[in-house]
Structure 1
Amino acid sequence: MNTMKNTIDGTWFRRYAPSASTRMRLLCLPHAGGSPSFYHSWGNAFGDDVEVLVARYPGRQERIAEPCIESMEEMADAVTAALLPLLDKPLALFGHSMGASLAYEVAVRLEREHGFGPSVLLVSCQRPPHGQRPRSAHLGGEESVLAEVRRLGGTDAALLEDPDIRELVMPALQADFAIVGRYAENGPRPAVPVRCPVIGYVGDRDPNVTVEEMHAWAGVAPKGFELKVLQGDHFYLVPQRDGLVADLTSRLH
């Protein structure tokens, strides 16, 4: 029993403000190269009755000594297994960029293999499975990955100009880009529907995905799809944090 508790608290999820009054949980799944610190300001943003979890991917921060995962299937299987002790409350999934594909894959696994339906799937700045197309940044080595990070922008790009930080985070970054590239290496994937509403979010100047491409998430959302377009680029969620949190809060019921 103690081993399971350590798995929940210390390995796969950073947990913010769990309390006896927890009504539901929100799991945030970071982008390629991302970590729980990106969502630090979200920790207590949704009220005392919403517990925020952020996935800790292997190979970075507290898990830096662990080998990185390089396939979406392995990552989704691992996150799903780690979630099983936490299904005593309603669960919402939020994923940004790579994390959006991961959130979808976790939702499919929870429904298909465990009979548990998330309350809502919240996807940000990523094409749906059936809208995927091949991505090749991971095939060109470190410089190719760095060029893609710079193209997308965000705080990660600025940090990577520091050689010491770059050396520290490159293995995880390259592994994550391998996940993204391999997920789409054969183009579109099956549009397996989920049994919960799907809400999409995108910046109006995102260089990686268009508003039209985000609308295609409706193809896996028979329970309903809605798209929110916010001002900004691929990392609109930093300057638009307050508006995004307010909208997310309205979905957590």
Structure 2
Amino acid sequence: MIHSATAPTAPPKRRWQHGDPPAPGTPRIVCCPHSGGSATYFRPWSSAVPDGVALVPVQYPGRHERLAEPFAESVEQIADALATELLADVAEGPGDTPVVLFGHSMGASVAFETARRVSGAGATLCGLIVSAHVAPTVPVTSTVHELPDDQMWQALAEWGGTETEVLDLPELRKLFTPAIRADLTISAAYVDPAANGSLDVPVIALAGESDSIAPTSDMHEWADVTTGGFAMRTFPGDHFYLVDYVEDILRIASDVLQAAHSDSP
């Protein structure tokens, strides 16, 4: 869940989209990380991305090259800034740029809110893929963010996804505690009873079969946020099932891009 940070540097022009910008017009998969996660979580994914498609990992403030920046205060705040930057980025292309938004855990909420903002606003939003997080109409019941530090880290260890070196070293846990607590807090606060029907693009929900944090029964609620069609895929595993299914997830995202291209006039 947490990955080693680097020293802060001057914020780049593209603060939210990590790495060099794709060539103008390149179809892209924009990936929003989980609570406490960073753009580097998706670094191993780059080698599995199909030719002609760009992987664009999102970098939240308060980590890595954005270490000196304050943490986000809400999911909506992240989505506002990310959508603005994404739309400015794709506007440099020759026309509408195909985009798929993917988000895991807290990132699913970020991806959804970003989708609401970019749909029909200059990017061709081909679809939304949400992983291991309840729908926005379902209140988050976890209170992990309210636990004392030691108990919070114990809970995170049970969730999986956190590097062993972070769990084993008190110095690293102390370093990452503010970021993870800030992310968990805004994730727990996010809920939107009016989210249903706010999208008109395909939504695909991905879930681990034994995920107790985002049970498959709750994941089905994502069907109601769109009028553009819904599908659900389950995988063996828990909250961080995706570690073993990167190629499958990228294939799903690429299929969404391809389907949108085939359907276009």
With normalisation by structure 2, the TM-score equals 0.83
Residue 40 of structure 2 corresponds to: 37
Residue 136 of structure 1 corresponds to: 143
Of 79, 89, 106, the residue aligned with 2:114 is 106
Of 1, 7, 13, the residue aligned with 2:13 is 7
Q: Check the 8 A contact 1:19/1:49 in 2, yes or no.
A: no
Residue 84 of structure 2 corresponds to: 81
| Cα separation, 2, equivalents of 1:156 and 1:195 | 38
Q: Check the 8 A contact 1:137/1:181 in 2, yes or no.
A: no
Cα deviations across residues 56-77 of structure 1 (Å, max 9, x unaligned)?
1111111111111131121111
| Cα separation, 2, equivalents of 1:119 and 1:164 | 43
Residue 228 of structure 1 corresponds to: 233
Deviation at 1:47, TM superposition (A): 2.2
Per the alignment, do residues 190 and 144 of structure 1 end up closer, same or farther by CA in structure 2, a change over 3 Å counting? Answer: farther
| Cα separation, 1, equivalents of 2:98 and 2:154 | 39
Paired residues for 1:1-253 under 5 Å? 6-8=12-14, 11-15=15-19, 18-19=22-23, 23-87=26-90, 88=93, 89-111=97-119, 114=121, 116=123, 118-156=125-163, 159-184=166-191, 188=193, 190-253=195-258
Q: Check the 8 A contact 1:123/1:198 in 2, yes or no.
A: yes
Identity of matched residues, %: 35
| Cα separation, 1, equivalents of 2:199 and 2:124 | 8
Deviation at 1:250, TM superposition (A): 2.2
Structure holding more helix per residue: 1
Per the alignment, do residues 222 and 146 of structure 1 end up closer, same or farther by CA in structure 2, a change over 3 Å counting? Answer: same
Cα deviations across residues 152-194 of structure 1 (Å, max 9, x unaligned)?
112346623311211221111111011112214xx85542421
| Cα separation, 2, equivalents of 1:159 and 1:239 | 21
| Cα separation, 2, equivalents of 1:55 and 1:14 | 6
Per the alignment, do residues 251 and 115 of structure 1 end up closer, same or farther by CA in structure 2, a change over 3 Å counting? Answer: closer
Q: Which moved more, 1:47-56 or 1:78-87?
A: 78-87
Q: Check the 8 A contact 1:15/1:52 in 2, yes or no.
A: no
| Cα separation, 2, equivalents of 1:173 and 1:96 | 15
Q: Secondary structure at the match of 1:104?
A: helix
Any unmatched runs of 5+ in structure 2? 1-10, 259-265
Q: Check the 8 A contact 1:119/1:196 in 2, yes or no.
A: yes
Deviation at 1:212, TM superposition (A): 1.6
| Cα separation, 2, equivalents of 1:16 and 1:244 | 23
Please report the RMSD computed on the Cα atoms of aligned residues, expressed in angstroms. 2.3
Deviation at 1:19, TM superposition (A): 4.0
Q: Check the 8 A contact 2:140/2:190 in 1, yes or no.
A: no
Q: Secondary structure at the match of 2:101?
A: strand
With normalisation by structure 1, the TM-score equals 0.86
| Cα separation, 2, equivalents of 1:141 and 1:77 | 31
Cα deviations across residues 168-224 of structure 1 (Å, max 9, x unaligned)?
21111111011112214xx85542421210011111111211112111111012110
Deviation at 1:142, TM superposition (A): 2.5
* Runs of 4+ deviating beyond 4 Å: none
